[in-house]
Chains A and B, each alone.
Chain A
């Protein structure tokens, strides 16, 4: 069964600290992996999209890594800010083709950054 598992479910860190969120997937055939940020009361917004040939991708203070062999990804946030408080969703796209919405969503990690 195609699944995306994220850990931890929730995380509280102090402002200025770093953190790493994890994502494991069993989607096949794999096409790409995305990380989305979802602020409370808003829709998800894309942070990164990585194909199987990419190991690392950065977007400002956000750095995503991908190990396609072990089917694991991580999202590292550096020097956290209060505005980083959000849910972070790992999404895997499969090579089913077409436009039928072949995205498999994880349940998300809820990050709270405290002053």
Chain B
């Protein structure tokens, strides 16, 4: 099993450009998440999808959109990239329904630089 995969691994964008970060999981998990990790800060939740067909905002959603394409795939789109979006982006997935005693699995991350 590959677990959680993300593409691309690295990306450099110019301010104003757009791009989509892709995420897929093969563990048949219902819930998927997008986080960003910045130096000196903990991971922060951007958007999440509790199940196929639903998406909700997290702590820092501004400047991003998401699509839960199917149960396996959850993409993150930057419509007009800004230097403040330079970060490492992690996708994660978990099962367990509403139980707080879940195991959450993270992808390897996408390192994005906006110049």
Residues of A bordering B, CB below 8 Å: 4, 31-32, 41-46, 49, 51, 89, 93-95, 97-108
> How many residues of chain B have a CB within 8 Å of chain A?
29
Cα A103 to Cα B103 with chains together (Å): 12
Residues of B bordering A, CB below 8 Å: 4, 30-31, 33, 40-45, 48, 50-51, 56, 58, 90, 92, 94, 96-98, 100-101, 103-104, 106-109
Question: For B97, what are the chain A residues with a Cβ–Cβ distance below 8 Å?
Answer: 99
Q: Closest 5 interchain pairs by CB?
A: A43-B106, A105-B42, A99-B50, A31-B100, A99-B31
Q: Report yes or no: A105 in contact with B100, Cβ–Cβ below 8 A.
A: no
Cα A89 to Cα B41 with chains together (Å): 11
Question: For B103, what are the chain A residues with a Cβ–Cβ distance below 8 Å?
Answer: 46, 49
Name which residue of chain A comes closest to B44, CB basis.
A105
Q: Report yes or no: B100 in contact with A100, Cβ–Cβ below 8 A.
A: no
Cα A11 to Cα B107 with chains together (Å): 26
Q: Assuming A4-B42, A42-B108, is B50 touching A49 (CB within 8 A)?
A: no
**Cβ of B21 to closest chain A Cβ, rounded Å:** 14
Name which residue of chain B comes closest to A104, CB basis.
B42
Cα A97 to Cα B97 with chains together (Å): 10
Question: For B31, what are the chain A residues with a Cβ–Cβ distance below 8 Å?
Answer: 99, 101
**Cβ of B38 to closest chain A Cβ, rounded Å:** 10
Cα A45 to Cα B108 with chains together (Å): 10
Cα A98 to Cα B33 with chains together (Å): 13
